Amino acid sequence: MFSVLSYGRLVARAVLGGLSQTDSRDYSLVTASCGFGKDFRKGILKKGMCYGDDACFVARHRSADVLGVADGVGGWRDYGVDPSQFSGTLMRTCERLVKEGRFVPSNPVGILTAGYCELLQNKVPLLGSSTACIVVLDRTSHRLHTANLGDSGFLVVRGGEVVHRSDEQQHYFNTPFQLSIAPPEAEGVVLSDSPDAADSTSFDVQLGDIILTATDGLFDNMPDYMILQELKKLKVS
């Protein structure tokens, strides 16, 4: 069974997946998602799963369950660009591609590449930059395939301990790898990485594993022991 639940007391800007068994062969995600904008006084939830400059999605296809999270680069605000537009559009596009079955479970970079290419070809101009993390659970093989670009990322928690985690990608301090679309006059000046630069991993998962994807809004502010304390509260959920 697949469910999406609002879990308001959980850590900020995160998407969680706990593994369950649907039959003797397939695994499935039971998910809880939450997020809080950077300005609590304006804590208005935008259309879709978008919180502040962060956006996320949870999508199910017959072959896999997919989690995604992205963090819009706030520096665009200085140029009159809403940073959430890029991250939100990227995640919505990736979500649609998954639901349409236009992906290979073992290739999450392909989801990111296809989503980014659609943004580049969009007739409606879209400016901005974003980090991105895509996590795919192949239900039949019981393997998790991941692609992480920048300083968003994931943790896999088993038995109260972190057993897998993403590697942060930074060009230099406070400048993560990112996908970008710049105005013509700024092309070659604005930092922009290829989706192929994403760090990719694949590994087996087990029933009961908790998979957490989040932006640096979580990882920069909560050390592992605090995150694990919060996740312990999910035992009876």
Pairing of strands 27-34, 4-6: parallel
Q: What is the pTM of this model?
A: 0.87
Q: What's the CATH code, domain 70-233?
A: 3.60.40.10
State how beta strands 4-6 and 14-21 pair: unpaired
pLDDT per position as a tens digit, 73-106: 999 999 899 999 999 999 999 999 999 999 999 9
pLDDT band with cut points at 50, 70 and 90 for residue 17: confident
Four-point Cα dihedral 217, 221, 227, 229, nearest 10: -140
How far is CA 13 from each of CA 10, 37, 102, 114, 198, rounded to the nearest angstrom?
Answer: 9, 8, 27, 24, 21
Euclidean distance between CA atoms 149 and 131, whole angstroms: 6
**Which residue matches tokens 């970008």?**
180
Q: Bigger pLDDT: 194 or 4? A: 194
The Cα 8–Cα 186 span in angstroms is 40
Measured between alpha carbons, how far is residue 134 from residues 25, 81, 173, 222 in Å?
Answer: 24, 25, 23, 21
